[in-house]
Amino acid sequence: MPKVIFESFIDFMDKSVIPHGKQNKDWERLDGCTSGGSRKPFGYFKHQNCIWKVDEDTTFEKLMIAYNSIMDHNIDPFEASPAKRPSLNLIESLRTNPKKIYIYLDKQL
């Protein structure tokens, strides 16, 4: 099955994450696990002229923080981290520990 790439983070949330969360209300993470890492992709979206991959060990809470910052305040919640494995992190004013949001560069457009 080909991967679905959403046109925006909002599209990704509205069409994939939020419905998935409603079906799995007791889950903290997208994969339903309570511990351990996963590099398995849950989904993809376009942002800042790139395609980003969201790993399934990301928590609903962190994605909702990002979503609400856009919907409620029209603030881009992400900043790119130019690490060995480029990623998107929440901007400093939205960050809390632990990280629990795992979004990695899939492809530049």
Contact (CB, 8 A) for 58 and 86 = no
The two tokens of residue 48 are 């800042």
d(CA 108, CA 51) in angstroms, rounded, equals: 6
d(CA 100, CA 91) in angstroms, rounded, equals 14
What pLDDT is recorded for position 37? Answer: 83
CA distance linking residue 59 with residue 103, whole number of Å: 11
Domains of the chain: total:
1
pLDDT, tens only, 4-37: 999 999 999 999 999 999 999 999 999 999 888 8
pLDDT digits (tens, 9 = 90+) for 39-86: 899 999 999 999 999 999 999 999 999 999 999 999 999 999 887 889
Burial 44-54 (b: 16+ CB within 10 A, else e): bbbbeeebbbb
What pLDDT was estimated at residue 1? 58
Residue ranges making up the domain that contains 97: 5-108
- pLDDT at position 99 is 84
